[in-house]
Structure 1
């Protein structure tokens, strides 16, 4: 058995790298539940022992909530969401554990490499585009809409008069006429 420890105050997480064909070790004939990596509890996360020399940790985020509005909920993908073996067809437990480990490591590190390469240029391009669109909206679209609103104020007043004098009484009387009807459904 291999044992992983995380900090001094963390609990041990055991990983059994034995094959599923070794059923003679278990009394009830069931296979053991394989654990790969247990996520730390919120209490443990705050008590992680850090060295005085290392102030910024790669494992403890500087900004806790990076998606507060849940924009990227569709990207919360785990190994079990992508790869799953049905009960009749199973690979060896070591293959499953190493596949899970390689999936997680490659997913995290490829994401980190791609963000290092693309995050700064995309942020600059996005900032420039949003600045241009904001300037265009503030100095062009907003004043044009205000000019149209001021110029067509008489049309807004005329439309509200038409709605109040013609359309509203017609629909009120139609509603009162149809309000007297009632429908009762009965089974025969």
Structure 2
């Protein structure tokens, strides 16, 4: 088995380079898959955001989950979700591959361009809107609700007394009267 191991560092990756014609391998064993990229170890996962590749690359997210609550789960659009050819009509393979590539590239780059143009103004407008709504709620709505509750405290007390005088005895007596009833089922 031909393997290449880079250095003696435990974080290094071993890549299988053997071919399937090796006489040592038995036919019963599964062939190992070539590892192109190894998963980071637990120690490396903590430092993944500080690596130079992540800082340089704009394709790797700096924030792992940008939609943790799944608010925009309906926007997971792939090429196959939009364009699909039935078996009866088919375009050439090159046309299909180039269409797929152009779809993905245009989707990603147009989204990036539009977000560059609109993300900051929309963030400012959204922040302004939520600040005004919070201010309105904190300084106007809540005090008005408390004033109404304070002003109608006598009405709440009166309504509570009316319910305890009329409804509670009626429901208590109905409950005691129905509590004595029993149902016996018998087969005839």
TM-score range, shorter chain: 0.5 to 0.7
Distance change in 2, residues 1:43/1:83 (3 Å): same
Cα distance, 1:61 vs structure 2 = 0.7
Matched, 1:43 2:28: no
Distance 2:67 2:53 in 1: 30
Distance 1:164 1:93 in 2: 80
Deviations 1:102-160 (A, max 9, x none): 11111100000000000001111111111111111111111111111111122222333
Q: Which residue of 1 aligns with 2:68?
A: 68
Cα distance, 1:166 vs structure 2 = 3.4
Count of aligned pairs between the two proteins? 145
Higher radius of gyration, 1 or 2: 2
Check conservation: 2:79, 2:100, Cα contact below 8 A: yes
Distance change in 2, residues 1:41/1:81 (3 Å): farther
Distance 1:112 1:142 in 2: 41
Distance 2:124 2:141 in 1: 24
Q: Which residue of 2 aligns with 1:80?
A: 80
Cα distance, 1:41 vs structure 2 = 8.4
Q: Which residue of 2 aligns with 1:94?
A: 94
Normalization by structure 1: what TM-score? Answer: 0.62
Question: Equivalent residues in 2 for 1:166-185 (5 A)?
Answer: 166-168=166-168, 173=174
Q: Which residue of 2 aligns with 1:153?
A: 153
Indicate the SS of the match to 2:39. helix
Question: Equivalent residues in 2 for 1:8-47 (5 A)?
Answer: 43=39
Distance change in 2, residues 1:51/1:78 (3 Å): same
Q: Which residue of 2 aligns with 1:123?
A: 123
CA-atom RMSD in angstroms: 3.7
Distance change in 2, residues 1:156/1:56 (3 Å): farther
Normalization by structure 2: what TM-score? Answer: 0.62
Distance 1:140 1:116 in 2: 36
